[in-house]
A and B are shown apart, each in its own frame.
Chain A
Amino acid sequence: MIERTLKHRDSALWIAAMVHRVSGLALAIFLPLHFLTLGLAIQGEARLERFLRWSDQPLVKAAEIALIFLFTVHLLGGLRILVIENLEWRDGQKQLATLAAALSALVAFAFLVRVF
């Protein structure tokens, strides 16, 4: 049943909406952790510094690169919605959606180049 029902979800715009939702969920899970680590500064600068050093390892950096991608793609997906809902209808949305994904990958790649 599942295979049958998923077949028409191959449009770039459907995928854009799904990526937007999944990235939002991932960011929602990440955010409390992010706030907790920043809160380490309460225990003093050395504590935060220890965490920053710990986060220098490749696996954590890889996760950060993924987060940058999710963050950017969620922003661009949100802009897609704000444009559809507040501006005149435009054609070429599929191309724009694909461009947005590419742009997010580019930003994440730029970050990768910085940290590795």
Chain B
Amino acid sequence: MNVRLYVWQRATAAVMAPLVMVHIAVIFYATRHGMSAADILGRTRGSIAWAAFYGLFVLAVSIHASIGVRNVLSEWTPLNERRVDACAVFFGLVLAVLGLRAVAAVVLP
């Protein structure tokens, strides 16, 4: 961990705090109303607001989780610095790609 990674990790954490709370609320709402796939997609398809919300969430979590995983790998495994960096970058890219794909899947009309 260094000051650059620290700033990115804490900044994305701060950005996500309210997003997480909204997401929990969304989960509760969806389960209470027993929403089906049709119900959910009916709300998300073509919605710029949901696209922006979850798009931001995906980008933030890709950065945040990859730095977090990097710390764990660095402290709890014998992998060297370069390997740890590579794993973290790879993981971040996996999250970003799969995440943005998922957002597109529910948002594109």
| Chain A residues proximal to chain B, CB less than 8 Å | 21, 24-25, 27-28, 31-32, 34-36, 38-42, 45-46, 48-49, 51-52, 68, 71-72, 75, 78-79, 81-82, 85, 107, 110-111, 114-115
Contacts and interface: CB of A to CB of B under 8 A. Distances in A.
B27 A41 contact: no
A31 B95 contact: yes
Nearest to A42: B105
Interface of B is mostly: helix
B49 interface: no
A28 B69 contact: yes
Contact of B65 (A28, A48, A110): A28
Interface of B: 10, 13-14, 17, 20-21, 24, 27-28, 31-32, 36-38, 40-41, 58, 61, 65, 68-69, 72, 91, 94-95, 98-99, 101-102, 104-106
A1 B56 CA distance: 46
A106 to B, nearest CB: 12
B21 A75 contact: yes
A111 B10 CA distance: 28
A32 B62 CA distance: 10
Nearest to A31: B95
B10 A71 contact: no
Contact of B68 (A24, A41, A49, A114): A24
Which of B17, B28, B58, B98 counts the most A-chain CB atoms under 10 A from its CB? B98
A51 B36 CA distance: 10
A71 B24 contact: yes
